[in-house]
A and B are shown apart, each in its own frame.
Chain A
């Protein structure tokens, strides 16, 4: 989803040579969209964050205007909540690392395939799997990984194990589920930056006697760093904000921030506290984005 924001299509600078009629007052075109975003996005989200500074009253959803830091104090003083932040972050980091390791080779093959038919076919498969409803893909994953799932049944039938392996309803299941869901975003972020590397660079190094791995490590990998940063942070941001994957694959046993938000609201009715957890979640993904921009600038500064 967000990979579109990572690199918005660049538009040409509006030149002075363009006839005046092409740059008339076009504001009326964008006003409906602005009003829509203002009314149904900015106002709701800002007032949600404002309500996180309101005193928590279970079952009370309206704004009371009792300013307090109580909700945030509670998050950072009770281990239940700050361990959830930590858990979300390490699961997100692990998912990003796994996606990078298993996504890079596939992205490399798509970007460098000499047979365009195969590259297109794989890309379409990746796109289809990305766009298919997450819950449907998780159905397949759960049938595969459950205690009575295909993997455990197969291994028991073959006599390799006698007890089912605990693959689901724990952090293993959550990480596998998140990797399944976010991997396409990693691959798509990588393809562009690998494709932009001039193959002549690699060929030159090869012809001068470098091994394939040496070329990969010293040329291809460093030159694809922008895509690596973009993909890693995108996957991290998607992984920490996912509700459905920890809910299904973790069976409510792996409590991440989105699960806390839902529980606070649907089960306890503590709206203001749920809003505070939501603000923390949003800030965490914003931090990832800020880090991404800093890393990208530093990288470009060293190279260009």
Chain B
């Protein structure tokens, strides 16, 4: 705004500060992972790929990265299917239970992660069907906290959908299932993809919930980095972080392209 009401200088200054608070820590991780010395000093000692190479032979960080990736994939698959089906109900049904159900589906992200992790852990031990400290248990927990993101994104794209296209298909003789499969589904695919990418990122970076559910041989990347931070600042952890940063940046770019960014923001 450089006409009637320009942004005050103080505002620009504080805004720059806020951006620094958000971005400088990320920048430091990248620098620490590419720095040649053991500790990051200022100015950095020099550029080297030794920590990145270390990451690829690391007995802790590489398996942790793979586990987090696989866990996020499985979680995304399940929560996308469950969440998309539920979203169709939430936007199409005339039932009075809709609002209640919508609230119910969002509860898992309102509950503090530590509390949810603890509740699941105790439940898994009580029921004693082998879910405690298992990969399946971890996936269940992650599906709970990622499904709300799928539901939010997919319901948004279903609400925006022009129903007359589906009606046209129906009036031309398509069965409800055909009309949905051939007309509606392709139209909401960007929304579903954005929701599933969202779910993937949330699962990949999940820490608090995983804390109670993981075991020493089921270490996700956030947990592996956490334990290395409590005892030593291994630059290998920062190198692993660089890969996570790339993954998250690419996914965010794709998902913002898929779901209209402006609309996403005006909804908040």
Residues of A within 8 A of B (CB): 1-12, 14, 18-19, 21-24, 26-27, 29-30, 32-34, 36-37, 40-41, 43-45, 47-48, 51, 61-63, 101-106, 108-109, 112-114, 120, 122-129, 131-144, 148, 150, 153-154, 179-180, 183-184, 187-189, 191-192, 195-196, 199, 202-203, 206-207, 212-213, 215-216, 237, 240-244, 247-248, 258, 261-262, 265, 271, 274-275, 278, 281-282, 285, 289
- A192 in contact with B266 (CB, 8 Å): yes
- With A9-B155, A136-B244, A180-B21: A281-B115 Cβ-Cβ less than 8 Å: yes
- B115 in contact with A7 (CB, 8 Å): no
Instruction: State the main secondary structure of chain B at its contact with A.
Output: helix
- Bound Cα distance A172, B94 (Å): 51
Chain B residues positioned under 8 Å from A196 (CB to CB):
266
Number of A-B contacts (CB under 8 A): 344
- Bound Cα distance A153, B106 (Å): 45
Residues of B within 8 A of A (CB): 1-2, 4-8, 10-12, 14-15, 17-19, 21-29, 32, 39-42, 82-83, 85-86, 88-95, 98, 101-116, 118-120, 122-123, 125-126, 140-141, 143-145, 147-149, 152, 155-156, 158-159, 163, 166-167, 170, 176, 201-202, 204-205, 207-208, 211-212, 221-222, 225-226, 229-230, 233, 237-238, 241, 244-245, 248-249, 251-253, 256, 261, 265-268
Chain A residues positioned under 8 Å from B170 (CB to CB):
19, 21
- In the complex, 7 of the A-B residue pairs with CB atoms within 8 angstroms, ordered by the A residue number, are A9-B159, A36-B147, A137-B26, A183-B22, A184-B22, A188-B265, A192-B266
- B42 in contact with A154 (CB, 8 Å): yes
- Bound Cα distance A247, B225 (Å): 13
Chain A residues positioned under 8 Å from B212 (CB to CB):
265
Known A5-B109, A22-B167, A187-B18; 20 more pairs at CB < 8 Å: A4-B148, A27-B89, A27-B95, A29-B86, A47-B119, A47-B122, A48-B122, A102-B17, A103-B18, A106-B18, A124-B253, A129-B23, A136-B29, A143-B28, A144-B24, A183-B22, A203-B4, A244-B226, A261-B115, A262-B211
Cross-chain contact of B88 among A29, A192, A215, A241 (Cβ < 8 A): A29
Chain B residues positioned under 8 Å from A215 (CB to CB):
5
- A48 in contact with B112 (CB, 8 Å): no
- Bound Cα distance A112, B85 (Å): 37
- A106 in contact with B268 (CB, 8 Å): no
- B5 in contact with A133 (CB, 8 Å): no
- A131 in contact with B201 (CB, 8 Å): yes
- Bound Cα distance A112, B19 (Å): 17
Q: Which residue of A lies closest to B131 (CB)?
A: A40
- Bound Cα distance A123, B94 (Å): 36
Q: Which residue of B lies closest to A237 (CB)?
A: B110
- A138 in contact with B25 (CB, 8 Å): yes
Closest 8 CB pairs of A and B: A140-B25, A241-B112, A44-B123, A133-B205, A30-B89, A140-B28, A105-B11, A33-B86
Most buried by A among B29, B107, B156, B244: B29
- B22 in contact with A44 (CB, 8 Å): no
Chain A residues positioned under 8 Å from B24 (CB to CB):
140, 144
- Bound Cα distance A281, B167 (Å): 49
- B5 in contact with A137 (CB, 8 Å): no
Cross-chain contact of B122 among A8, A51, A189, A243 (Cβ < 8 A): A51
- Bound Cα distance A40, B142 (Å): 11
- Bound Cα distance A202, B7 (Å): 12
- B28 in contact with A150 (CB, 8 Å): yes
- A23 in contact with B94 (CB, 8 Å): yes
- Bound Cα distance A270, B126 (Å): 16
- With A8-B152, A150-B40, A258-B114: A14-B94 Cβ-Cβ less than 8 Å: yes
- B5 in contact with A199 (CB, 8 Å): yes
Chain B residues positioned under 8 Å from A43 (CB to CB):
123
Q: Which residue of B lies closest to A241 (CB)?
A: B112
- B1 in contact with A192 (CB, 8 Å): no
- With A21-B170, A30-B90: A278-B17 Cβ-Cβ less than 8 Å: no
Most buried by B among A2, A5, A139, A202: A139
- B252 in contact with A183 (CB, 8 Å): no
Cross-chain contact of A179 among B21, B90, B102 (Cβ < 8 A): B21
- A133 in contact with B148 (CB, 8 Å): no
- A4 in contact with B107 (CB, 8 Å): no
